Amino acid sequence: MAENNKVRVSMKINGREYTAEIEPRMLLVDFIRDIAKLKGTKIGCDTSQCGACTVIVNGVSVKSCTMFAVEADGAEILTIEGLEQDGKLHPIQESFWENHALQCGYCTAGMIMSVYYLLKTNPNPTEEDIRRGLAGNICRCTGYINIIKAVKTASQKLGGNKP
């Protein structure tokens, strides 16, 4: 029987430092939502498939439900809340909005973070690249057609540059 020990964890989320004493089993998504109180990142499943919890950890997209907070000790994390700068929306956010690439919006935070990573590594994706890059993000509402459009728009807005 394991002792309920605690670990001290510190991470930077959207540029701000968060520190807490937590159980090592605490999932990163719970740390983000319940300790840092950043509710934009969501939980949508229990088998690491839906991608609603996707965030960027040290520059790379990750399903935060499949990571312990303690594994992110010392890390730099970007969540959906960190994309807007001084009231100005990120081009990916603009593109999703213009193309109505969402309906209920629950998948949107994770989807946008996955798009962020996709465009970072592949600024001019083909439709096939987009379908492959977002295969780990489930949307139940849109049927994906508008999401694909939004990624193409975002790529254009970024002028083929990294986000």
Q: Please say which residue, 6 or 160, places its beta carbon nearer to other proteins.
A: 6
CB of 98 to other proteins, least distance (A): 7
Q: Please say which residue, 137 or 160, places its beta carbon nearer to other proteins.
A: 137
CB of 159 to other proteins, least distance (A): 21
CB of 86 to other proteins, least distance (A): 13
Phi and psi at residue 145, in whole multiples of 5°?
-60, -50
CB of 151 to other proteins, least distance (A): 10
Q: Residue 106 is encoded by which pair of tokens?
A: 């629950």
Phi and psi at residue 39, in whole multiples of 5°?
-85, -5
CB of 83 to other proteins, least distance (A): 8
Strand 60-63 relative to strand 76-78, pairing: unpaired
Q: Please say which residue, 17 or 37, places its beta carbon nearer to other proteins.
A: 37
- Specify whether the CB–CB gap between 112 and 92 falls below 8 A: yes
Q: Across-strand partners of 11?
A: 18
Residue in 33, 73, 37 with CA at minimum distance from that of residue 53: 33
Extract the runs of DSSP E, i.e. beta strands, from 15-156.
16-22, 54-57, 60-63, 76-78
Q: Please say which residue, 87 or 159, places its beta carbon nearer to other proteins.
A: 87
Q: Please say which residue, 47 or 159, places its beta carbon nearer to other proteins.
A: 47
